[in-house]
Structure 1
Amino acid sequence: MKFAMMYSCGKDSSLALYRMINEGHTPVALISAFNQEQGRSWFHGIPEELLRSVSESLGIPLIICHCRPEDYNEAIEEGLRKAVQLGAESCVFGDIDIEGHREWNEQRCTHAGLTCVLPLWQEGRRALTEELIHAGFKAAIKIVQSDILDDSFLGQTLTADLVDRIEAAGADPCGENGEYHTFVYDGPLFPEPIPTKFGEIIDFKTHKAIDIQSM
C-alpha cells in the first residue's frame, strides 16, 4: 500500500512510519502542518529548513501545509489531496488512544478520499515509548508543559531512565496528553543523524520550548 505520513518529526509519527515501512508499505509523502504566524510547524515547533532536511534524509517527499488556526483543516485536506496525486491510498497517523484525534483524522481522510491508518492505536503508552528507544531512535525533548515538566528536560534525548523521570514528575510516559513533544534526529530510518543545534529556551507561559535549527 502506498501511504502518506502525517509527520510531526516526533517520536510517535516516527514509530508509526517505521512500522509501516517494515510491513512492506511504501511512503509517498510526509505531510507537516506549518504555523504561518510563528514560522514553525504546529505543535512541535520545527523550522521549515529542518523539516526539509528530515525529508531529504528519509528520502520521502515533503508536503508542507502552511496555515493559520482558522484554515487548519482545509490546509491539511489540501495536503492530503496532493498526496493522492502522488499515489497515496491512505494516510497514516501516530495517534495512540485519544478518541477525538482519531475522529479528526478520519474526517480529514474521508474528505480527501483516503483511508485512515493508525498503526499504534490502543497500544500501551509506555510500551510504545520503550519500543522507539529500543529500535534505536534518538528523540530529543523539544517542548514541555510548564506546570508538569521543568525546562531541565528540554534538549534531552529519551532513554528509559529519562522516561522514569518523566513519569515521576507526574507526566504520561508517552506525553500523549501534551506533556512533552520530541524531535527525532536519528534512528533506523535515517542514513545518518540530522545535523542540528539547540538554541535559546522560549517561554510560552503554559509551555516552554527549546529552539532547534539545522547545522
Structure 2
Amino acid sequence: MKRLALSWSGGKDGCLALDVLVNQGMEIACLLTTVPAEIGRTFGHGEKMQSITLQAEALGIPVHFIQCTFEEYTQSFVSDLKKLKESHRLTGVAFGDLYFQPHREWGEKVACEAGLEAVYPLWMKEEESLKALETFINSGYKSTVIRVREDVLHASWLGRELNQSFLRDIQKEEVCPMGEAGEYHTYVHDGPLFRKRIILEGPEVIQLESTKKLEYKKYSIVPKHTK
C-alpha cells in the first residue's frame, strides 16, 4: 500500500484530494503545511496554525508544519520531506493541484529530490474545473470562503458556504470556478472523513496583502452527533 504525505492548506482542493486518495485505498500518513516565517501564517490561505491543527485533529491525521522562508521555501520542503520519508515510511507525496502546470512541475521536482513519487489525484483539464466544484459540493464536506483576491472578487464572497447557491453565482464571475489562480480560498470544517466537526465563531474581515481575509476569533472542535 502507498503511504503518502498530503500537501494541505485547509481548503476544498486538499480535502477533495484526501477524499479521492482514501477512497482509492491509499494511506495518508500525515498532512503537510508550509508556514513562511515572514508572515507567520500558512502559505497561500494565510491561516493561523491553530486552525490547521484543529482540522488534523478532526480528521485523525497528524499534521507536520514546514517552517520556512520565502527564499528557502523549496529547500525546506525537500529537507522535511526526506525526514518524513524515513519517520513515516512514505512512498510518495500528494498535491491537490488541478491544472496549473508550473505547480505540478515544482511538486514533481521536490518529490524527486526527496526520493518520493508525486501524486496528483485531481489532475484535470481547465474546462473540467466546474465539474470538480460540483463534485466537492455534492460530496458532503462543509467549506467556507475565508479569503478573496480583491482584484477579482468582492469581499461579500467572504463567509459564503460552498453549496448550490455558490455554484450558481460563481459561474457569473470571471474566475476559475475552483479558484485555481487563488481567486478565493476556503476552509473545510466538516464532512465524511471528519471524525469531529469544527465550529467557527466571531468572524471579522482583515487585510492581507492584496486580499481580504475572514478571520475567526474562536475555533472549537466538537464530537459529531451519531444518528
TM range (shorter): over 0.9
Match in the other structure for 2:96: 94
Q: Is the 8 A contact 1:34 1:40 kept in 2?
A: yes
Superposition deviation, residue 172 in structure 1: 1.4
> 1:165 and 2:151 equivalent?
no
State the number of aligned residues. Answer: 215
The one-letter amino acid of 1:214's match is: Y
- SS of equivalent residue, structure 1 residue 194: strand
Aligned mate of 2:105, from 88, 103, 106? 103
Residues 24-81 of structure 1, C-alpha deviations (whole Å, 9 max, x = no match): 1101110001122222101111211121111111111111011121111112112212
CA distance in structure 2 between the partners assigned to 1:95 and 1:182 by the alignment: 14
Q: Which runs of structure 2 are paired with 1:1-215 in the superposition (5 Å)? A: 1-85=2-86, 86-123=88-125, 124-204=128-208, 206-212=210-216, 213-215=218-220
| Off by >3 Å, runs of 4+ in structure 1 | none
Identity %: 33
The one-letter amino acid of 1:182's match is: T
The one-letter amino acid of 1:127's match is: K
Superposition deviation, residue 203 in structure 1: 2.1
- More off after superposition, 41-50 vs 106-115: 41-50
CA distance in structure 2 between the partners assigned to 1:108 and 1:198 by the alignment: 38
Q: Is the 8 A contact 1:11 1:139 kept in 2?
A: yes
Q: Is the 8 A contact 2:38 2:70 kept in 1?
A: no
Superposition deviation, residue 205 in structure 1: 5.3
CA distance in structure 2 between the partners assigned to 1:133 and 1:201 by the alignment: 25
The one-letter amino acid of 1:57's match is: A
RMSD: 1.4
Residues 67-113 of structure 1, C-alpha deviations (whole Å, 9 max, x = no match): 12111111211221232121110111000111101100001101111
CA distance in structure 1 between the partners assigned to 2:165 and 2:97 by the alignment: 24
- SS of equivalent residue, structure 2 residue 71: helix
The one-letter amino acid of 1:120's match is: L
CA distance in structure 1 between the partners assigned to 2:37 and 2:209 by the alignment: 21
CA distance in structure 2 between the partners assigned to 1:114 and 1:53 by the alignment: 27
| Cα 1:89–1:205 shift into 2, 3 Å | closer
Q: Is the 8 A contact 2:60 2:195 kept in 1?
A: no
CA distance in structure 1 between the partners assigned to 2:57 and 2:167 by the alignment: 30
The gaps in structure 1 that reach 5 residues or longer are: none
The gaps in structure 2 that reach 5 residues or longer are: 221-227
- SS of equivalent residue, structure 2 residue 198: coil
| Cα 1:39–1:205 shift into 2, 3 Å | closer
Question: TM-score by structure 2 length?
Answer: 0.90
- More off after superposition, 119-128 vs 21-30: 119-128
Question: TM-score by structure 1 length?
Answer: 0.95
